[in-house]
A and B are shown apart, each in its own frame.
Chain A
Amino acid sequence: MKRMDSSSLAAAALLALLAAALPTDVSAHIVKGEAIGFFSGFEHPISGLDHVIAMVAVGLWGAQLGMPAIWVLPVTFPLVMACGGFLGLIGVPLPGSEIAIALSGVCLGAAVLLELRPPLWVAGILVGIFGLFHGYAHGAELPPGQNALLYSLGFVLATGLLHATGITIGLIHRWQWGKLALRGAGAFVLCGGAFFLWGALS
């Protein structure tokens, strides 16, 4: 039998540990609101298409920019998003968040469409600013009676998985046809962002 090398073993263990973070709603550990907290947190970022397209676009752009942006942008986004979530939770007013969220789709879609290559810090700041508004919406729209940690875990995990989806799709960038398809996906995100921006402004 072929033996697994240490990297494969580590990868398998990482996946297993991530799987261990999944909710435990069928176990005997009965604490009210736990599974509801995780699922409503997980559902929140994926229930709004304006969030989805922007977060997938972060992954697409990161993949297009290559190393180190491919992982710096998805690391930056949840951290700044959590700052926004914190502001939303403590009730700090942040006007125009819906417009900013829609605008994030427009800007990130345009960046992917035009294959923009700004310096890493510029890309990081741009993604960070949008992350702040996305996080604010999650924090401000928080349903009452949830388990704090599991709700937060759900929404951070969902956000990360949306980035990972974007990065995975963005890996087609290595082929010529993939580059074109990726720019097409950018156009799709741009149109989606413009649609939501129209809705937010009207």
Chain B
Amino acid sequence: MATGMGPVFDGISHFGLSPEDFLPVIALGFFAGLRGPAHSRLTLGALTLCWFGGGLSALLGLSAPEIVLSCATAALFMLVGMALAANIVLPPSVCAMLGASLGLVRGMADLSGVEESVSHILTLLGMTASVFAIFAIAASLTIPLKRLWIIVAARVGGSWIAALGLLLVGWIVRYGALTR
């Protein structure tokens, strides 16, 4: 998308206007935040680096087919949503792997079919900066949570994300790959 403010802002706006990107990032941020600072720090690094890596590999022409990326997106919605809804106990490395998978898949999906250029690398940088910021904000807000109802609200949100993932699988079965 073109904002008219340059490629970095295009990347930031793309992330902010793509629910398939920001919803799982926020959910993962809440989940990692509920688990603690160690989980959050490791996942933040893995998610951001892999998002950039996935986008870069797509720019270089190394991307998975659209249907695979759509299925992986739906599966990640379900995994992240279920993890948050159930507030399951995971080691930091597994949480980071979840973040890495999300970063790779969404980074690739966002930039697949786009030609490599300095402008698009800047767009990817803008996108990655948004991922970093939104995840960090979501996780840092959740870490100090003490009130039960706010934790419950985050977990209810997780169940909605998981429900979305399951519905996306149905859409893919019925209509094929999701449109970007």
The reply to whether B144 and A153 form a contact with Cβ atoms under 8 Å apart is no
The reply to whether A78 and B159 form a contact with Cβ atoms under 8 Å apart is yes
The reply to whether B13 and A29 form a contact with Cβ atoms under 8 Å apart is yes
- CB of A169 within 8 Å of the partner chain: no
Q: If the complex has contacts A20-B22, A156-B167, are A29 and B1 also in contact, measured as CB distance less than 8 A?
A: yes
Bound form: Cα–Cα A88–B165 in Å: 15
Partner of B137, one of A13, A21, A82: A13
Which label, helix, strand, loop or mixed, suits the secondary structure of the A interface? Answer: helix
8 Å CB contacts to A: which residues of B61-91?
85
The reply to whether A152 and B174 form a contact with Cβ atoms under 8 Å apart is no
Which chain A residues lie closer than 8 Å to B19 at the CB level? 21, 149-150, 153
The reply to whether A14 and B153 form a contact with Cβ atoms under 8 Å apart is yes
The reply to whether B20 and A156 form a contact with Cβ atoms under 8 Å apart is no
The reply to whether B168 and A11 form a contact with Cβ atoms under 8 Å apart is no
Q: If the complex has contacts A14-B154, A160-B160, are A148 and B168 also in contact, measured as CB distance less than 8 A?
A: yes
Q: What is the chain B residue whose CB lies nearest that of A27? A: B17
The reply to whether A11 and B171 form a contact with Cβ atoms under 8 Å apart is no
Partner of A10, one of B142, B152, B165: B142
> What is the 8 Å Cβ interface bit string for chain A, positions 1-37, against chain B (1 contact, 0 not)?
0000011011101100110110010011101000000
Interface residues on A, range: 35 or more
Nearest CB of chain B from residue A22's CB, rounded to whole Å: 10
Bound form: Cα–Cα A81–B170 in Å: 12
8 Å CB contacts to B: which residues of A61-99?
71, 74-76, 78-79, 81-83, 85-91
Q: If the complex has contacts A85-B170, A88-B170, A90-B173, are A7 and B160 also in contact, measured as CB distance less than 8 A?
A: no
The reply to whether A86 and B170 form a contact with Cβ atoms under 8 Å apart is yes
> What is the 8 Å Cβ interface bit string for chain A, positions 121-162, against chain B (1 contact, 0 not)?
000000000000000000100000001111011001100100
The reply to whether B174 and A28 form a contact with Cβ atoms under 8 Å apart is no
How many residues in B have their beta carbons less than 8 Å from beta carbons of A? 46
> What is the 8 Å Cβ interface bit string for chain B, positions 1-38, against chain A (1 contact, 0 not)?
11100000000011011011011001000000000000
- CB of B163 within 8 Å of the partner chain: yes
Nearest CB of chain A from residue B157's CB, rounded to whole Å: 8
> What is the 8 Å Cβ interface bit string for chain B, positions 148-179, against chain A (1 contact, 0 not)?
00101111110110111111111111110011
- CB of B94 within 8 Å of the partner chain: no
Q: If the complex has contacts A29-B13, A149-B19, A152-B171, are A82 and B154 also in contact, measured as CB distance less than 8 A?
A: no
Which chain A residues lie closer than 8 Å to B23 at the CB level? 21, 153
Q: What is the chain A residue whose CB lies nearest that of B1? A: A29
Nearest CB of chain A from residue B62's CB, rounded to whole Å: 25
- CB of B133 within 8 Å of the partner chain: no
Q: What is the chain B residue whose CB lies nearest that of A68? A: B152
Bound form: Cα–Cα A79–B155 in Å: 12
Which chain B residues lie closer than 8 Å to A76 at the CB level? 159
Which chain B residues lie closer than 8 Å to A82 at the CB level? 162-167
Nearest CB of chain B from residue A88's CB, rounded to whole Å: 7
The reply to whether B17 and A24 form a contact with Cβ atoms under 8 Å apart is yes
The reply to whether A78 and B138 form a contact with Cβ atoms under 8 Å apart is no
- CB of B145 within 8 Å of the partner chain: yes
Q: If the complex has contacts A29-B1, A86-B169, A149-B178, are A81 and B163 also in contact, measured as CB distance less than 8 A?
A: yes
The reply to whether A157 and B169 form a contact with Cβ atoms under 8 Å apart is no
The reply to whether A79 and B167 form a contact with Cβ atoms under 8 Å apart is no
The reply to whether A79 and B162 form a contact with Cβ atoms under 8 Å apart is yes
Which chain A residues lie closer than 8 Å to B175 at the CB level? 148
Q: If the complex has contacts A17-B26, A156-B167, A160-B156, are A89 and B173 also in contact, measured as CB distance less than 8 A?
A: yes
Top 5 closest pairs, chain A to chain B, by CB: A89-B170, A82-B163, A148-B171, A86-B170, A152-B167
